[in-house]
Structure 1
Amino acid sequence: MTRPAFEVPDKWKWFTESRYGLFIHWGPYAEHGRGEQVLFREHLDQQAYAEQACRWNPEHFDAELWAYQAKKAGFKYACLTTRHHDGYCLWDSAYTDYTSAKQAPKRDFVREYAEAFRKAGLRVGLYYSWIDWRLPAYFEGPQTNPEGWAKVRAYLHNQVKELLTEYGRIDHFFFDGVWPRNADDLGSVELVEEMRKLQPNILINNRLGYSKAHDGYRADGGVGAGDSETLGDFGTPEHLIVTDSKRLWESCQVTTWRLWSHVFGERWRPADYLLDMLCECAEKGGAHGGNLLLNVGPQADGLFPPEFLQRADEIGRWLEVHGEAIYGSDGGSVTEFITRGRQTTRGDNLYLIIRFWDGRPQLRLADLVAKVREVTLLTTGQKLPFRQEGDELIIDGLPKEAPTRLFPVIRVTWDGRPAANQWGRERLWEGDPARVAEWARRQRGESVYVDGAER
């Protein structure tokens, strides 16, 4: 069962206008410095881990500082891990004492985060893991341990409703860690209905497990995401940028090479690589969303790592100048441009995001059918001379040196929406191959010889 294409409701348009969110993976696992899943991946002693978690006390955590840094970097919303797979809760839950409020910090980190980010004008998202590695009944399931499973499911539902009751408006909710359960075990469809009663405007992701009624089959393991093809308001490709034609989507990506929480000695991706992921999401997004949820793993003491801030600030400065090419954009890829960079559109504007600046004074854009009114090097504000020759746009006056260390952007303003001919719409490995045959025959002939003539 698949859903048809839809118009984005007004209550969710903030999501497509934002394009750029901050994912925050933080908890007592940060003290270990080997990833948010260190308890399971290294098969640690459960009791020893819990004792250390209860002593964890991040003395430098300042939610207002986080919010300031996020806004300065150009993020429009954030999503905090309220409870990851280790079971430790960052809020004052009434259903367990394994929380930051009842253990060493004696603080409700979720409340501080939500209030600070909302005050800064950022949308507030919460992450919640279905799985809890401490609870045997979760892995035994309803068939093997019906009584234990009923308690676990009630615990999960109660905590989610608690998060949506006690912390004001929540805009974005990110479930994770379904394996080995499915939507029917979890009662996720029923829970989502209750969530919408508590938060009518909330966006809920698709990691709800597969449902026999909704998806036609049940989960059979997999990597644990439980990405339903029909359930949920937005898709969540992880470590990938893949469009979802059925709904909104956001790609969740790390700023390091692999792990989500703070890791000692992890390698960091450069700023241009991270910015390119944002541009790719915006280019592929269209009206159904194409957001980047970029992760930071704060240090155990509560501070954002300096390596993250350096990269985030550089991208933030780029967005101050070029943000109109990203925020509220309508996707791109009007015509072939992969040999130079990426494209986005917004109304009558086409933005050429140039990854590969070749230092030549002229740029040719092929296979366009609309009339151009103006061309601007957005990076500097300089108006550029141009001419149109048939379906080609020739832009002149480009500087030899790239005007920014990251990606220069050229804004092309049209009379009406940017549009392309058949060649612009159909790319390499796409479309009608007859057009390629005609192109080759008309311009050079039929044979394998240089001149195309038969011998």
Structure 2
Amino acid sequence: MNTGHDNNSRHDRSASAKWFTDSRYGLFIHFGPYAQYGRGEQVLFREHLDHQEYAQQACSWNPEHFNATLWAQTARKAGMKYACLTTRHHDGFCLWDSQYTDYSTAAQACGRDLVREFVEAFRAEGLYVGLYYSWMDWRIPAFFDGPEKDPDGWQAMKEYMHNQVEELLTRYGQIDHFFFDGVWPRTAEELGSIELVRRMKELQPGILVNNRLGPSEGTRTYADGGAGAGDSEVLGDFGTPEHQIVPDPNRLWESNQVTTWRLWGYAAGERWRSADMLLDMLCECAEKGGNLLLNVGPQPDGQLPPEFVQRALEIGAWLEVHGEAIYGADGGDLIEFVTRGRQTTSGNHLYLIIRFWDGKPVLRLADLISRVTRVTLLTTGQELEFEQQDQVLWIKGLPKERPTALFPVIWVECDGVPKSNIWGQQRLWQGDPSRIADWARTRGSSVYADGEKR
């Protein structure tokens, strides 16, 4: 990994990086007074609502059925290993008892510190704890005017943000994961990102901080699914591609994805992605060496939507059987396997995650050059016969019917770390084209069916 700037030390070999990599799967929770509108987390801005009316409704919000223990138990049963809660989104409303504002759940209607309840409940279930914090506050003109137009207002806003982050890191014990968001139109220099992260790591030495710390002078903000995220190419312990799965070459990474079609906060009538589509996202992240942070937007009363719970528990049941192919996996993409599914590796094991089960008794696996010692259908525990010949592995005795409603997994044990030949290392439209010419030459070189020249 890129060791980058020492002011924001990488955790590629640290214990904090190990838990992150071993986890592979986390829960993102977008919860706030916007849930009352049922049109996503950014309804205030996207619909240009009246600020006073929104604030009045926010201050009267009472998520009476919010039960952090039930949330945490659901996440654990779903196979998730960590969770991140939006402590304050772009609307500026805080879910904890902040001494710097009364615009919070603690000071207003429900009178509860939801962050405390979240942290304590998830920690009790053995999950790692993450907190989300928005740099942006749509209510404050100085954030958008910036330090040049309003130096005093900007300085007050900056101090407010830094103070609130310190609150979050000093009141609730160990925090493992911190997710900034909403930088646009500010920069890392204006926000004081470097000094803030330095302070964060003094307070929480093991914490992992994401890359949305603002673009630095001379760098660009790159794609994450939203121009406002402020991804930094050089700052941050982990990358956060949003609505897409793109490995970050500079650091650890997690893909942020919704369980619905688009919105992060609760949206009445939103369409839901299927369990197999969500599981495929998790498998793709693991295959590419990253994590999946899968979002839910709880209902305004604090309950998790039943559509989410159903899908999450389906995936959790799959992980109980197949989790070794995901948790702590070293990534995959060892051989060409798109026509069948996905793959991960761990030690001397190769896991074949079959998205497309064709019902045939034999599976042909090309380009694996390591000697195979054992093959098992992990889904059922059935030992499978196999044969290796000319860098092709034939796996035999597969059942006609798919042995699970989701993705069956075949476990292949090798005599060492699995390795592939040049065809596994260079894929479609990649590498040296001479290998393809040599392969084509095995049938001849003419356009006629038999390859012979006329």
TM-score (norm 1): 0.96
CA contact (8 A) 2:82 2:129 kept: yes
Matched, 1:250 2:254: yes
Provide closer, same or farther for how the CA distance between residues 181 and 219 of structure 1 changes in structure 2, counting only shifts above 3 A: farther
Letter in 1 for 2:28: F
Distance across 1 between alignment mates of 2:119 and 2:90: 21
Measured on the aligned residues, the alpha-carbon RMSD in Å equals 1.4
Match of 2:7 in 1: none
Structure 1 residue 217 displacement after superposition: 3.6
Structure 1 residue 232 displacement after superposition: 0.2
Match of 2:291 in 1: 291
Distance across 1 between alignment mates of 2:68 and 2:357: 39
Distance across 2 between alignment mates of 1:335 and 1:220: 30
Distance across 2 between alignment mates of 1:41 and 1:351: 44
Matched, 1:36 2:41: yes
Identity among equivalent pairs (%): 70
CA contact (8 A) 1:332 1:344 kept: yes
Match of 1:277 in 2: 281
Distance across 1 between alignment mates of 2:307 and 2:152: 47
Provide closer, same or farther for how the CA distance between residues 392 and 220 of structure 1 changes in structure 2, counting only shifts above 3 A: closer
1:120-269 matched pairs, under 5 angstroms = 120-212=125-217, 216-217=218-219, 223-269=227-273
Distance across 1 between alignment mates of 2:405 and 2:156: 55
In the TM superposition, structure 1's runs of 4+ consecutive aligned residues that sit over 2 Å from their partners are: 2-8, 216-222
**Post-superposition CA distance 1:253-306 (Å, at most 9, x none):** 000000001100000000000000000000001xxxx00000000000000000
Provide closer, same or farther for how the CA distance between residues 417 and 66 of structure 1 changes in structure 2, counting only shifts above 3 A: same
Distance across 1 between alignment mates of 2:16 and 2:311: 31
Distance across 2 between alignment mates of 1:438 and 1:312: 48
Letter in 1 for 2:90: H
Distance across 2 between alignment mates of 1:50 and 1:299: 19
Matched, 1:108 2:113: yes
Structure 1 residue 11 displacement after superposition: 3.0
Distance across 1 between alignment mates of 2:257 and 2:16: 25
CA contact (8 A) 1:20 1:75 kept: yes
**Post-superposition CA distance 1:140-166 (Å, at most 9, x none):** 000000010000000000000110000
Match of 1:438 in 2: 438
Letter in 1 for 2:433: P
Distance across 1 between alignment mates of 2:143 and 2:170: 25
Letter in 1 for 2:246: V
Match of 2:402 in 1: 402
Structure 1 residue 219 displacement after superposition: 5.9
Equivalent residue of 2:288, what SS? helix
| Ranges in structure 2 where 5+ consecutive residues have no aligned partner | 5-9
Equivalent residue of 2:34, what SS? helix
Provide closer, same or farther for how the CA distance between residues 445 and 74 of structure 1 changes in structure 2, counting only shifts above 3 A: same
Equivalent residue of 2:132, what SS? strand
CA contact (8 A) 2:326 2:344 kept: yes
Match of 1:373 in 2: 373
Structure 1 residue 6 displacement after superposition: 8.0
CA contact (8 A) 1:182 1:218 kept: no
Equivalent residue of 1:36, what SS? coil
Equivalent residue of 2:133, what SS? strand
Aligned residue-pair number: 446
Letter in 1 for 2:113: D
CA contact (8 A) 2:11 2:17 kept: no
Match of 1:454 in 2: 453
Provide closer, same or farther for how the CA distance between residues 198 and 7 of structure 1 changes in structure 2, counting only shifts above 3 A: closer
CA contact (8 A) 2:445 2:451 kept: yes
1:1-80 matched pairs, under 5 angstroms = 3=3, 7-80=12-85
